[in-house]
Amino acid sequence: MLRTIDISTRTYSDRELRRIVPRGHQSVDAMLDTVRPIVDKLKTEGAAAALEYSEKFDGIRPPHLRVPAELCQEAADALDPDLKKALTSAISRVRAVHEAQKPDDVEVNLAPGATVTQKFIPISRVGLYVPGGNAVYPSSVIMNVVPSQAAGVDTLVVASPPQKDNGGYPHPTVLAVCALLGVDEVWAVGGAQAIGLLAYGDEDFEPVDMITGPGNIFVTAAKRIVRTVVGIDAEAGPTEIAVLADSSADPTQVAYDLISQAEHDVLASSVLITDSAELAEAVDAKISELYTVTLNSDRVAQALTGDQSAIVVTSGLEQSIAVANAYAAEHLEVHTRDAAAVASRIVNAGAIFVGPHAPVPLGDYAAGSNHVLPTSGSARYSSGLSTLTFLKHVDIIDYDGPALEELADDVIRLSQEERLPAHGEAIAARRNK
């Protein structure tokens, strides 16, 4: 079912390895002309335009763009007990991890009377986008809200598309999780219009300082357009999993993990990297056997047979590691002998899942880690969502007179070298004061 790419016969450069498996293609650039008029209209007309676009794109106009708090609480009260238990367990683990991520301020004493302090300050107001579409995403509420709360963000807004089946409000489970997390500002708006309203606001809806959360290509294009106005977390591409495995791996487990990621999107990437031709054949056979029984089998089939999914057969562990680092997967599973040691050699991945008992779905929901991760190879230079995403740092420079005098000649000389003599004069003016 998956195509096989055999690279075991020669050595490849990193540049070549990056091109071995192409990624699912979605052109954000091509969508900008379509999305920009929507964002521009939101900038000038605010909530009225958001309601208009909701009716056009979602097929319903919500009774209130801001969801009444009592509806969120009613949704929480109506949760199935087992589902509520699962959600609260996930919240607890994610909160424990993200509260531990908050850094302490750092003060450096360079000399008597000379200190530089790095102070971490939370973003004041954050908009958290929770998609609708192919699935329901209460987990995305958790993964966005909890780290922002751990950072100490003052106010949070959750925006999620209105739904016909819920009277024009977001999905009840999304509303329920907002209540469980104490989020009291929820907007029934999705797509590019949600991003525009979050960025620009109007007289009744305050704009935010940062927007995070995944979405479709329209959401991504809108985030690109407004990123000069507000901060954004990232431009999320189609989801992806790579499994680095050797002959010790269980073919059934690997097959299920590749299938599970493929059910997200027809452009999702599922890649097996292995030095075992026997495992490659066994996994492919298991995929063909198992995918048909899944709820989303049509979507899975399209994703697994696309160019963005493949089995890469390597010459050995070293080449497998090289392929994994070149590919820089959003999710990387390691199914090898001494998996922890192999995982320690991975430098490019959004998140690394070690061994047979840590599959990607665990991280999607309740491992404690965040599931908003870098895609499209951006794990080579960026990280997933965390508490740090919602913090900015400010350097505080505190020098007294003697400490300044100690450096004065050096600063003056440097200003002269850069042909910015007024910089030096500003230093000299403070001498003997």
The CATH number of whichever domain residue 213 belongs to comes to 3.40.50.1980
> Is 303 in the same domain as 416?
no
**Which residues share a beta bridge with 211?**
127, 232
Last residue of a domain, one of 176, 207, 232: 232
> Is 117 in the same domain as 133?
yes
> Is 75 in the same domain as 221?
yes
> Is 282 in the same domain as 260?
yes
Answer whether residue 221 is part of any domain.
yes
Q: How confident is the model at residue 103 (pLDDT cuts 50, 70, 90)?
A: very high
Provide mean pLDDT across the span 99-125: 97
Name the token pair of 71: 């509806």
> Is 182 in the same domain as 274?
no
Answer whether residue 78 is part of any domain.
yes
Give the pairing type, strands 106-111 and 114-122: antiparallel
Angle at 408 between CA 405 and CA 409, to 5 degrees: 125
Give the domain extent around 62: 28-232
| pLDDT at residue 134 greater than cutoff 90 | no
Provide mean pLDDT across the span 288-296: 90
> Is 226 in the same domain as 265?
no
pLDDT, one tens digit per residue, over 206-259 is 999 999 998 888 999 999 999 999 999 988 888 999 999 999 999 999 999 999
Q: Please give the pLDDT value at position 24.
A: 75
| pLDDT at residue 293 greater than cutoff 90 | no
> Is 190 in the same domain as 249?
no
Task: Give the active site residues.
Answer: 330-331
> Is 41 in the same domain as 128?
yes
Q: How confident is the model at residue 327 (pLDDT cuts 50, 70, 90)?
A: very high
> Is 248 in the same domain as 227?
no
> Is 335 in the same domain as 260?
yes
| pLDDT at residue 329 greater than cutoff 80 | yes
Contact 352, 329 (CB under 8 A): no
Q: Please give the pLDDT value at position 433.
A: 63
Residue 265: closest CA among 233, 304, 212: 304
| pLDDT at residue 188 greater than cutoff 80 | yes
Domain count for the chain, please give it. Answer: 3
Answer whether residue 91 is part of any domain.
yes
> Is 347 in the same domain as 377?
yes
Rg (CA), the chain: 25
Answer whether residue 1 is part of any domain.
no
What's the full length of the chain, in residues? 433
pLDDT, one tens digit per residue, over 138-167 is 999 999 999 999 999 999 999 999 999 899
Q: Please give the pLDDT value at position 285.
A: 97
Provide mean pLDDT across the span 296-313: 95
Answer whether residue 15 is part of any domain.
no
| pLDDT at residue 135 greater than cutoff 80 | no
> Is 244 in the same domain as 156?
no
d(CA 334, CA 342): 7
